[in-house]
Amino acid sequence: MLHENLGINEKGRLTFAGADAVLLAEKYGTPLMLLDEERIRRNIRRYKEALLECFGEGSFPLFASKALCFKGIYRLAKEEGIGMDAVSVGELYTAKAAGFDLSKAYFHGNNKTDADIAYAVENGVGAFVVDNADELLALEKYLASADKKQDILLRITPGIDPHTHKAIVTGSVDSKFGSAIETGQAEEITRLALSLPHIVLKGFHCHVGSQIFDIEPFTEAADIMLRFIAYVAAETGYTAEVLNLGGGLGVKYVEGQPELDYAAVIRDMAAVIKLRASAIGCALPHILLEPGRSLVADAGVTLYTVGSVKTIKGYKSYVSVDGGMPDNPRYALYEAPYTVLLASKAAEKADFICSVVGRCCESGDILQENVDIPKPVRGDILAVLCTGAYNYAMASNYNRIPRPAVVWVKEGADRLAIRRESFEDMTRLEV
């Protein structure tokens, strides 16, 4: 099985976090997203403990909540004592509504509006991750009028190509995010931040990309950022306290991809970072990481009911399910690979090659192509594995399809996390 929270029971059905997936599909209906609570806690603890062990107090993970945003996940993050990375006021609002302390929130985004700035300052956001000079000046203006000070990090682009899908590369010089070291704009914005009376510069941030399995892009980015910190210290006398290296560690979606041990990766990163910091004579700042995918992806499974099974003679076969790109647009967007199983016949021989498609009026509404599963019939339950990250968070109502329900599963017991969207929910804003 792809991950250790998956299994097959005596009825030949898929189990997830100790529960029979088919029974959950019957109980809650489909499409249904299951979330393994203990897996998320385990993933969080691995990051938290490794960062503390390697870098000491003040170094901790922030959950990149763009990967999965709803109140329950912030309650869990609060219980686990980690911070959060928000990219919008909507995420901040949801966290606050869940009782999450926003002083542990880092507020990202390359285009914060004046209203966003006011909301975040007034609600006590721990730090802004400031993207550009326009934002910095708008923030200073607001702080001056409110007579407040605000901690910030500056988002810097180190100029790294991590060799992942181009849509999720973010640290290259020509990226829309941050200020590049190479062009001198990182230095400029640092000097500007240091000159503004209501801005408290705590350090720097970078993020190279997502779904990365190699450690080199991270150590390379850390090296470049440490050199930048040392350069800034020499030029201005300012020493950064915090270096946030973003998120991006990869997750095993299919056989053949590695299953990273995040604690071991952090230890390896720490060894290189410490060596390089001492080589360039730079005091080690507190290190923050912003994992999203690697905290929640492998804690999610999506269940669907098979509708039609169609073989186009001499061509290919399609299995249509009751979800699709509205609940998981990642194949349509990135041709993202997923493991697909027939949950109701998980022990049977897989010998039916097909494309698993949704029910939108769009040929690109594909969950996965060239899947090998036992031949399903109408009513079978199909599972797409590793859907905890960037699935529910990116879900839409395209073709007026309601969003699925989300259910927590913990050691075989289930409880509703997000109720299924209704038709009334979808029309409630319409006057």
Nearer to ligand LLP, 260 or 418 (CB): 260
> CB of 174: closest distance to ligand LLP in angstroms?
16
Beta strands 6-8 and 14-16: pairing type?
Answer: antiparallel
Q: Dihedrals φ, ψ of 229, to 5°?
A: -60, -45
C-alpha to C-alpha distances, 105 to 55, 62, 67, 240, 249, nearest whole angstrom = 20, 8, 15, 19, 20
> CB of 338: closest distance to ligand LLP in angstroms?
11
For residue 143, give the nearest of 180, 169, 123, 117 by alpha carbon: 117
Tokens of 35: 């979330």
Tokens of 62: 């922030």
CB 201 within 8 A of CB 215: no
Nearer to ligand LLP, 211 or 305 (CB): 211
Tokens of 156: 């810097």
Nearer to ligand LLP, 156 or 382 (CB): 156
Nearer to ligand LLP, 63 or 228 (CB): 63
> CB of 246: closest distance to ligand LLP in angstroms?
4
> CB of 373: closest distance to ligand LLP in angstroms?
23
The rounded distance, in Å, linking the Cα atoms of 327 and 397 is 8
Nearer to ligand LLP, 83 or 376 (CB): 83
Based on the residue annotation, tell me whether 361 is a catalytic residue of this protein.
yes
CB 35 within 8 A of CB 408: yes
Length of the chain: 431
The rounded distance, in Å, linking the Cα atoms of 42 and 83 is 16
> CB of 305: closest distance to ligand LLP in angstroms?
24
Find the catalytic residue in 69, 206, 360, 361. Answer: 361
Binding site for ligand LLP (CB under 6 A): 64, 66-67, 85, 108, 168, 170, 207, 210-211, 246-248, 290-294, 330, 334, 390
Q: Tell me the catalytic residues.
A: 361
